[in-house]
Structure 1
Amino acid sequence: MAEPKRRVGGVEQTPARVLLVEARFYDALADELLKGALRRIEAAGAHCDVVSVPGALEIPATIAILVQAASARHQPYDAVVALGTVIRGETTHYEIVTEQSARALMDLSVSLRLPLGNGILTVENEAQAIARASVDHMDKGGDAAEAALAVLRIKRAAGCV
C-alpha cells in the first residue's frame, strides 16, 4: 500500500478571498493573533478583509452577516478565520462564551461548507494566552489561518468550488 501524501510545514499558495473576524477584548493579544494570521494569509497569496468586534460571542453573527452580504454581491469569501481570547475568570461566563462561540463557528462552517479556522484561544490565565498568541512561540493566529487555507485546498481539490 502506498504511503499517503502529507504536507509538512511550509505555506502553499492558495489565492483566495478570506474574511478574518477578530475580537478586540484583549488588544495586545488580538494584535499578536492578527499578526500571525495575516502573515500566513499573505504568504499564501490570499486577500484578507479584517473586521473587529468587541468579544468572542460577536464573532459568529458577524461572520454570518458578512458572508451572506458578500455572497449577495457575488463576491463570496473562500474561507474565514476567527480570532480572539477568552481567559477563565471566577464565574461560569467563561464556559458560556467558549462553548457557544465554538459551537456557533462549527455550525456556520458545516452548514455553509465554509473553511473556517477557529483561533479563539480558551485559556486559564494571561501567561497561557501570551504564549499561544505570540508569533514567536505557538502562533495560534497563524495556525488558525493555515487551518482555514488547508480546508479550502481540500474543498477545491474535491471540486466543490
Structure 2
Amino acid sequence: MNGGCHVLILEARFYPDIADELVKGAMAVLERSNATVARLAVPGAFELPAAIRFALRGTGAGAPGQAPGQAPGQAPGQAPGQAYDGFLALGCVIRGETDHYDHICREVSRGLMDLTLDPGIALGFGVLTCRDRAQAWERAIATGKNKGGDAAAACLAMIDLKRRFGLVSS
C-alpha cells in the first residue's frame, strides 16, 4: 500500500477503553504505511457519519493553529474535502435491553455507507457491533482480533484504489 496519505481517524468515545484499543491497532498499521494521521473524538458511534461530513464541508474557522478558512489537516490552497485521503471510523455499540442497539447500528452503518458512495470517500469501517463488553474487547484489543488494524488496512486499500482510478493525488 502506498504511503504518503493523510487519514482522519474519527473515534467514538462512548466506551473509551475500547476506543483506545481500536486506535492503538489502527495507528500501528497506519504508521507502518507512513501515513500521516489526524484524530477527532466524537461522543458515540451515531455521531461518526456527521463528523465525517463536517470534515468534508468544513472550513476550520477558529480552529487553533489554523489559518482562517483552513480546514483541519488541510494544506494551504487545498479545497475543503481534499484535506484527507481517507477516513477511519472507529467505535463500538454494545447490545442493551432495548431496540436502541438495532437502530444505532443500522443508521451508523447506513450513514457511513452513504458517505462512501456520495461523495465517494475512502473509508475504513471499524465500528464494532457486539453482544457484550467481553466480545467487544476481544475484537478491539490490538494483540487479539485487532479490528482497528483491520479497518485501517481497509482504509489504505480504498485510498490505493482511488489512486488507481485517479481520484486521489499520488
TM-score (norm 1): 0.88
Match of 2:141 in 1: 134
Alignment identity in percent? 45
Distance (whole Å) between structure 1 residues aligned to residue 109 and residue 138 of structure 2: 21
Match of 1:111 in 2: 118
Selected match of 2:6 from 14, 17, 33: 17
RMSD between aligned residues: 1.4
Shift of 1:14: 2.3
- Structure 2 alignment gaps of length 5 or more: 59-70, 72-77
Shift of 1:128: 0.7
Matched, 1:50 2:32: no
Match of 2:98 in 1: 91
Distance (whole Å) between structure 1 residues aligned to residue 82 and residue 136 of structure 2: 34
- What is the SS of the residue equivalent to 1:104? helix
Summarize deviations over 1:137-161 as a string: whole Å, max 9, x none: 1000011111010011111112222
Relative to structure 1, the CA distance from residue 107 to residue 73 in structure 2 (aligned partners, 3 Å threshold; closer, same or farther) is closer
The one-letter code matched in structure 1 to 2:41 is S
Shift of 1:74: 7.3
The count of residues paired between Structure 1 and Structure 2 equals 150
Structure number with the higher helix fraction is 1
Distance (whole Å) between structure 2 residues aligned to residue 112 and residue 133 of structure 1: 29
Selected match of 1:77 from 71, 81, 84: 84
The one-letter code matched in structure 1 to 2:134 is A
